[in-house]
Amino acid sequence: MGFEDNIRKIDPYIPGEQPKKKVIKLNTNECPYPPSPEVIRALREADWERLRLYPEPACDTLVDALADHYGLRREQVFAGVGSDDVLSMCFLTFFAGDRPILFPEITYSFYDVWAKVYGIPFETIELNEDLTLDPSGFKKPNGGVVIANPNAPTGVAESREVIEGIIEYNKDSVVIVDEAYIDFGGESVLPLIDRYPNLIVTRTMSKSRALAGMRIGYCFGDERLIKYLNDVKYSVNSYTMNMPALIAGAAAIRDTEYFRQTIEKIKKTREWTKERLREMGFTFNDSRTNFIFAKVPKGCNAKEIFEGLRSMGIYVRYFDKPKINDRMRISVGTDDEMNFLIGALKKLTRT
C-alpha cells in the first residue's frame, strides 16, 4: 500500500507486564500501599454528574495545590498524564534544535524512544564502571540534557553538587532532572529552580503517592519554560488530565503525614531487603529508590533467576541489555512480599 510510506514506524517502549492473575508484583515500582485515605474520600465524594463538562484545561485544582505544597508560583508548575506525558511534552518542546541531546547510556529506557519518535538527535554518555554518573560526559556542546536522579534502573543517587555542576555548565541547554524516585532518598535540585532558567525538574505521583492508576505527573521550571511547555501541550491536547485525576492529585499532595509514613515504611523494608540480599551474595549500589537493582551472586544467571521467580508467581524486571544483563530490578513491596521473595531467591540461588 502506498500509504505505508507515510507511516512513522517505531520500535515501541515495552512497559513492564501488568498481569491479570494474582501475583507478587515487584516489576513496575508501584507503591505496595494504597493511596491516602484523603484521596479515596475525595473520590467517594466527587460529583460525577459534573463529568459532562470538560475538565480545567490548565489543571488549576492540581497546579494550585502543587504550587502551594512546594512553595512555588503556579506559573512555575506544569501537570500531565503521568511523568511520561510531562517528559514527552518536554522533549517535544525543549529539544527542537539540531544538536544531539545527552543522557546516560543506562537510564530510563523511554528517553531514547521519545528522541526517536520526535526525530531528536541524541548521544548517550557512558556511566562509570560502578554505574555512577560521569559528570564530565555532560560537559560538551549539546541540544539538551536529561538526567534521572536517582537514576533508574540503577537506583544510584548523585549529590546535588554533581547535578548542579551539569546544570551550571549547560546554560545554553534545557537540563531536565527526572526526579521520579526522589521521595525515597537523594537530594533534589528543586531548591535551585529560581537560580537556573534552564532547569526543569519532573516528578510523579505513581510511586511515592501510590497513584500509578491515576496517571499524574508534574514538573517545575522557570515561568518562561513552563509557558512554552503549555503552548505545546495546548497544541496536542487541550484537556489532558481528567476530573478524577485533578481531584485525586490535589488530595494526595495535601496529605503530607500519610505520605511521610508510607515513605518510611518502604525505606525500612528496602533496607531490610538489602541486608538479606547481601547475605545471599547479591551486590548492588546503595539504592535510594523504591527498588533495588541487584547483581546476582557469582555463578548464578540473572535471566534464569528472573524466570524462576516468574514461575513461582513473583514478577521482577530483567533487562536483556549489555552491562546490566547480570541484574534484576526488584521493586520494594510489603514486608510479607519481600519475605516471600527472599525465600524464593534462597531456593533459586541455593544459598
Positions in 66-125 near a copy of itself (CB under 8 A): 81-82, 84-85, 88, 92-97, 99, 113-114, 116-117
Ranges within 290-329 binding a copy of itself (CB under 8 A): none
Ranges within 245-284 binding a copy of itself (CB under 8 A): 245, 248
Amino acid code (one letter) for 91: F
State the pairing for strand pair 217-221/77-80: antiparallel
Quick one: which of 170, 202, 159 has its CA closest to 70?
A: 202
Q: Is 57 in the site for a copy of itself (CB under 8 A)?
A: yes
Distances (CA, A) of 176 to 44, 99, 149, 251: 36, 16, 10, 27
Shortest reach from residue 42's CB to a copy of itself, in Å: 9
Ranges within 142-181 binding a copy of itself (CB under 8 A): 143-144, 171-174
Ranges within 187-216 binding a copy of itself (CB under 8 A): 197-198, 206, 210-215
Give the range of 66-74, 125-133, 227-235, 279-287 binding a copy of itself by CB under 8 A: 227-235
Give the range of 241-249, 302-310, 318-326, 342-350 binding a copy of itself by CB under 8 A: 241-249
- Which residues of the chain form beta strands (DSSP E)? 24-25, 77-80, 101-104, 122-125, 144-148, 175-178, 199-204, 217-221, 291-295, 314-315, 327-331
Shortest reach from residue 132's CB to a copy of itself, in Å: 27
Task: Compute the distance between CA of residue 275 and CA of residue 112 in angstroms, rounded to an integer.
Answer: 34
Give the range of 187-195, 231-239, 279-287, 290-298 binding a copy of itself by CB under 8 A: 231-239
Q: For residues 231 and 286, which CB has a smaller minimum distance to a copy of itself in the complex? A: 231
Task: Compute the distance between CA of residue 236 and CA of residue 117 in angstroms, rounded to an integer.
Answer: 15
Task: Compute the distance between CA of residue 268 and CA of residue 181 in angstroms, rounded to an integer.
Answer: 16
